[in-house]
Amino acid sequence: MKLLIIGGVAGGASAAARSRRLSEDAQIIVFERGPDVSFANCGLPYYVGGEIAERKKLLVTTPEMLKSRFKLDVRTRSSVEAIDRTAKKIHVRDLSSGREYEETYDKLILAPGAAPLRPPIPGIDLPGIFTLRNLQDVDRIKERVDKGIKQAVVVGAGFIGLELVENFVKRGIATTVVELQDQVLPPFDKEMTTPIVETLLAKGVTVLLGQSADGFEQAPDGLVVRLKSGQRLPAQLVILGVGVRPENKLAVDAGLEVGPRGGIRVNDHLQTSDPNIYAVGDAIEVKDVVSGDPTQVPLAGPANRQGRIAADNIFGRDVRYRGTQGTAIVGVFDRTAAMTGASEKALRRANRPFRKVYVHPTHHAGYYPGAEAMTLKILFHPETGKLLGAQAVGGAGVDKRIDVLSVAVQAGMTVYDLEEMELAYAPQYGSAKDPINMAGFVAGGLLRGDHPQVDVEAVLAAPATERPFLLDVRTPQEFASGHIPGAVNIPVDDLR
Ligand code: FAD
């Protein structure tokens, strides 16, 4: 077996290592356009901020190590330019020497990832405007930051954008984030992101929502970012974090099927429309676990697992990829936001029926010192109670709850299963009624009709004169810190 792999980072490196574990004899060649393989993309923002102090820590492995440990032929600075499916060969350009050559294959794995978007905005190519994908990008960004720049603008408040915002602030840079949507972290439901915006503001970040950059200009001391609103933001460093697109050129040129948003089409064995070619990672279209619809989800976990599964299938095992459910997490200063499965807005867009509940527990027993608050939202089917998605924002413990709920979504569990879940408990770790149980109790109670619920949107949508009587049963302090106009406060302990 001669296996060629295009792309040597998350999906490609996983596929290569797994292939060797399954076959000692196969000839395995990995082609990587950049100088590094298997680097830690996810750690890049923290190298800028100094949390990861040494650059070499970002290199998870090296071509030499892959050779000595796995007998892999790793060719860095080697760009694959074309695939000839009929002759089963690829055309390679060695970027160091300029030499061009061909390599034949029995099986081919495409793991080319996704490239950051650079929208065609006037001035986009001016020096000082960066995207972040690899070590070369981070070197350029860090070089600017190390010069002691004063102002940065991050265009796009997604995961990578906000991770960079945090690290710029840690480096003492006055940072503005500009986001087209009216919320940060667009995959989340808006109300779940409010604590993240509050945290950003508290840390001195300027957050401009519902705004977009429509031009960049050179200025005497750096750049000016022009917004559609007319606002002008001075900056010595601009980051574009406005999304990625699958690197599908090779696949498209070779006549492989791609989806409407460009993701390479694969079956559940991760085989493309050519049975000798597999594809994995950010470049592919996957099945959404909840909706069953095709989607694209650029995350490291799925890419790594897909690499392994593609190798399994190539070496004779029958392994199916179950789909991706978009389980993701981000830290923004001392806040954590995490989600899994469908969001409310995705369910609304798809016109799918759902109910939702929110709970606001602490991450461990309230009487034990250090309990941190979180807001947990779950979405579920209105009749069956099947869990469709979950989001949480808070401090410690958010990661654990979303991981448990991610498993529940994948296992097709219902809110009644959440009521019954037996989770590890001691006061410093959780509660005898864990936040997951609490969410299950509230959702189960809603579906059983024990305590009917009106969603806040419905209350707010009613004209002020027709609003129902609103009783706010929180403590006077909580009431004073914010409430719906017209609500009457009788704390729950006084109500009876
Ligand atoms: P990549 O890892 O991007 O690898 C593709 C490689 O293929 C590239 O190195 C490219 O040079 C090479 N290549 C492309 N075309 C060719 C060609 N024609 N010839 C040769 N080589 C080629 N995900 C998370 O889940 N959690 C996180 O916290 C997280 N943080 C991130 C932070 C940053 C800054 C970035 C950039 C990404 C982050 N991600 C995170 C996303 C995650 O890194 C990707 O989902 C994952 O790397 C995708 O793996 P992949 O193998 O598909 O592509």
* The two three-digit tokens of residue 274, written as one number: 């050519």
| 113 Cβ closer than 6 Å to some ligand 1 atom | yes
34 lines ligand 1 (CB under 6 A): yes
Q: Which of 282, 296, 406 to mutate to test the pocket of ligand 1 (most atoms within 8 A of CB)?
A: 282
341: helix, coil or strand? strand
CA neighbor of 304 nearest in space, from 4, 8, 15: 15
Contact 88, 102 (CB under 8 A): no
List of residues 6+ apart from 438 with CB closer than 8 A? 359, 361, 376
* Nearest atom of ligand 1 to the alpha carbon of 43: 32
Average pLDDT, the chain: 96
Classify residue 368 by its DSSP letter. S
Angle at 390 between CA 157 and CA 165, to 5 degrees: 20
CA distances from 282 to 93, 159, 215, 226, 259 (A): 23, 15, 29, 31, 13
Question: Does the CB atom of residue 301 touch ligand 1 within 6 A?
Answer: yes
For residue 468, give both structure tokens.
């129902």
Cα separation of 398 and 393, whole Å? 6
pTM of structure: 0.95
Beta bridge partners, 335, equal 332
Measured CA to CA, the distance from residue 321 to residue 285 in angstroms comes to: 12
**Which pLDDT score, from 0 to 100, does residue 5 have?**
98
Point out the ligand 1 atom lying closest to the alpha carbon of residue 328: 25
Ligand 1 centroid to Cα of residue 397, in Å, is 28
299 in contact with ligand 1, CB cutoff 6 A: yes
Beta bridge partners of 27: 2
pLDDT attached to residue 455 = 87
pLDDT tens per residue, range 108-151: 999 999 999 999 999 999 999 999 999 999 999 999 999 999 99
Reported as a single tens digit per residue, the pLDDT across 453-483 is: 988 888 888 887 888 889 999 999 999 999 9
Mean per-residue pLDDT, 6-30? 98
Q: Which residue in 437, 327, 325 sits closest to 376, CA to CA? A: 437
Is the CB of 168 inside a 6 Å radius of any atom of ligand 1? no
Q: Which residues are catalytic?
A: 42
Instruction: Determine the Cα–Cα distance for residues 167 and 417; give it in Å rounded to an integer.
Output: 40
Distance of CA 302 from the midpoint of ligand 1 (Å): 11
Q: Which two tokens stand for residue 125?
A: 């190519």
- Strands (E) in 290-341, as ranges, are 294-295, 328-332, 335-341
State the pLDDT confidence band at 322, using cuts at 50, 70 and 90.
very high
Contact 240, 116 (CB under 8 A): yes
Q: What is the pLDDT of residues 384-439, one digit of tens each?
A: 999 999 999 999 999 999 999 999 999 999 999 999 999 999 999 999 999 999 99
Helices (H), 257-299: none
- Token code pair at residue 330: 């981000």
